[in-house]
Structure 1
């Protein structure tokens, strides 16, 4: 997971494809690397420190839910 400080009212685009060089945020890499995917856009209602998902398998995007600890994720080929 990526610990980040989110600012209320600021627009964010969370990378859902895993190809961004600006993780956990989108840099547009999906346009060529994963054309069927798009970022998850969100705007927090309050300032807060959160963990954003890095494995891209969370059930609560864009937030980390611990899925990265599962055997299937840990054993995935890179």
Structure 2
């Protein structure tokens, strides 16, 4: 059994983004997207897949930039220790 490679750290801070209630988003889990924090398809062939989520309400959310959160796609503070 092979272990999945570690994701690329896009930045060691969360991305504060405005979301629309009811809209579906695809958070980049591999860290290679040029459209951070969202997926642009750069994960193909890496073993990673984007994390889909639908915004429950409109407003600012803090999406993980280090790609190591245990609460994907949201920041849980893990960037402080990676």
Q: Distance in 2 between matches of 1:66 and 1:6?
A: 20
Gaps of 5+ in 2: 1-13
Give the number of aligned pairs. Answer: 69
Q: Per-residue CA shift, 1:34-64, capped at 9, x if unaligned? A: 1x11000011121121110010010111011
Q: What stretches of structure 1 move > 6 A for 4+ residues in a row?
A: none
1:12-23 equivalence runs, <5 A: 12-23=25-36
- The answer to whether structure 1 residue 44 and structure 2 residue 55 are counterparts is yes
Q: Which has the higher helix share?
A: 1
Q: Which runs of 5 or more structure 1 residues have no equivalent in the other structure? A: 74-78
* TM-score under structure 1 length normalisation: 0.84
TM-score by length of 2: 0.80
